Structure 1
Amino acid sequence: MKIRADMVKRALSKRHHEDFFLTEVKTGPTHYGADLHILDAIAIRKSWANPCVTGYEIKVDRSDFSRDEKWMAYLQYCHQFAFVCPTGLIQPEELPEEVGLVYYKPETGSLVTKRKPVYRRVTIPSNVLMYIIMSRLDNERHPFFSSKREWIEAYMQDKDERKKLGYNFGIKVTDEILYLREQLKSLSGKAEDLQLLNEVRGILREYGIWLDSWNKSWKDELRKALSNGWDPRIENQLLILLKQAENLKELLKVASA
């Protein structure tokens, strides 16, 4: 199994879950050039009375450890310093006594302290602290509470407001549903009326009455048909016959002349 540096960093982050843990920490701005160093990881104990910054150098390859000549410079940036590597990659006697050694066990993803680093009273350079503040810390986000009681009070207040909001929203939704139902009922009634109108129009057409916008006399025709009580089609046929009779009469006059 190939061990990667990120696997070791993950194990370190779990070990320091109560500390402020960072990876790839620069000792200053990038333009420092050769004087710039990058620690693989640091863990800052959250204690004002007993502050402790622990630096880590991670090695997953023997040749990388053998040719590394810059790690001694890391000691000035932390109170404790340790190497972290797969089990047996580095031996304790290969390191100065004040430098710690932690083994990574890939089969479990856990860490075992082979030798604890010595605490050294050093003053952490301001460049490192400034880098952490400016580059690695996020702005505080809401909620901003000074105590747990304040948080609980705010939570209860928000809870009541959310309950009221939910109640009002429920009433609004109910009213909207009732309104839409009434609209649907009204539209359904109009559809039935339209169907009835079409049926009436069809029946009137059977009796020679055209119920259309272009026929302005349909009301008179309907009243006449209802008052006479007979089929309007008979009247229409009589009118046609009378017209034809008049035409025939004129033709006879012409023929006898």
Structure 2
Amino acid sequence: MRAAEVLEALRRYHGPAGREWAFFEELRAGTGYGPKSEQRFDAWAINLWPSKGMMRRCYEIKVSRSDFLHELRNPEKRQKGLELSNEFYFVTPAGLVDPNEIPEETGLIEVREMGCRIVKKAPYRTVTDPPLSFLATIARRAVEYEQTATELRKYIRNMEGAAHE
């Protein structure tokens, strides 16, 4: 299983865009340059419902055993993700890791043919509100999505127009 397939399963797990969750892939931890702002999360999501506490989740996708073991040896890599989320999950193909290997501050989601399944629930952490630099990163991504959607709508209208000629 490739990382793109895991990412797509995770996107589906969060449901239709704009309903309950806002889901972002390859999201930077901040703006500008430097080790803290250039760090990227494979995926990050925020629950949009105040009744659910606007839960934030960070996801680290691992599709190879060696990549997972490398991550375990470098816990500082996930520090920013822990700071910016209430729950942090490793997301892997089913059977790639033993749930007992998962660090206590994180959880494990496995991707199977039928979708995502939480194998080890991540502990909930109360975290501070994200810094403005992270909010700017989210806003930039939202603008990119809107620009892409606008271009796609234009393309579809042009194709529809050409089909009627």
Which category of TM-score, normalised to the shorter sequence, fits these structures?
A: 0.7 to 0.9
- Report the CA distance between 1:67 and its aligned residue: 1.3
| RMSD (Å) for aligned C-alpha atoms | 2.1
- Report the CA distance between 1:110 and its aligned residue: 1.3
Matched length: 136
Matched, 1:111 2:116: yes
- Report the CA distance between 1:65 and its aligned residue: 1.1
Note the residue ranges of structure 2 that are not aligned, 5 or more in a row: 150-165
The corresponding residue for 1:40 is: 42
Q: Distance between the aligned counterparts of 2:5 and 2:32, measured in 1?
A: 26
3-state DSSP class of the match of 1:75?
Answer: helix
Kindly name which structure, 1 or 2, has the bigger radius of gyration based on alpha carbons: 1
3-state DSSP class of the match of 1:28?
Answer: coil
- Report the CA distance between 1:109 and its aligned residue: 4.9
Q: CA 1:110–1:30 in structure 2 vs 1: closer, same or farther (change >3 Å)?
A: same
Q: CA 1:109–1:7 in structure 2 vs 1: closer, same or farther (change >3 Å)?
A: farther
- 124-133 vs 38-47, which moves further: 124-133
Q: Return the letter of the residue paired with 2:92.
A: C
Q: Is the 8 A contact 2:111 2:117 kept in 1?
A: yes
Q: Distance between the aligned counterparts of 2:114 and 2:89, measured in 1?
A: 18
| 2:58 aligned to which of 46, 55, 58 | 55
| 1:132 aligned to which of 135, 138, 144 | 138
Equivalent runs, 1:79-158 vs 2, <5 Å: 79-105=86-112, 108-126=113-131, 127-133=133-139, 135-138=140-143
Relative to its length, the structure with more helix (as a share) is 1
Q: Return the letter of the residue paired with 2:137.
A: Y
Give the alignment's TM-score, normalised by structure 2. Answer: 0.74
Q: Which has the higher contact order (CA 8 A, sep 6+)?
A: 2
3-state DSSP class of the match of 2:11?
Answer: helix
Q: Distance between the aligned counterparts of 1:6 and 1:129, measured in 2?
A: 25
Q: Return the letter of the residue paired with 2:46.
A: I
Q: Distance between the aligned counterparts of 1:93 and 1:30, measured in 2?
A: 37
* Moved beyond 4 Å, runs of 4+: none
Q: Distance between the aligned counterparts of 1:78 and 1:44, measured in 2?
A: 9
Q: Return the letter of the residue paired with 1:48.
A: P
Give the alignment's TM-score, normalised by structure 1. Answer: 0.49
Note the residue ranges of structure 1 that are not aligned, 5 or more in a row: 142-257
Q: Distance between the aligned counterparts of 1:4 and 1:39, measured in 2?
A: 17
Q: Distance between the aligned counterparts of 1:73 and 1:28, measured in 2?
A: 10
Q: Distance between the aligned counterparts of 2:59 and 2:31, measured in 1?
A: 20
Relative to its length, the structure with more strand (as a share) is 2
3-state DSSP class of the match of 2:7?
Answer: helix
- Report the CA distance between 1:61 and its aligned residue: 0.6
> What is the CA deviation profile of residues 126-185 of structure 1, one whole-angstrom value per residue up to 9, with x for unaligned ones?
22122101x1113699xxxxxxxxxxxxxxxxxxxxxxxxxxxxxxxxxxxxxxxxxxxx
Q: CA 1:124–1:64 in structure 2 vs 1: closer, same or farther (change >3 Å)?
A: farther
Q: Is the 8 A contact 2:29 2:80 kept in 1?
A: no
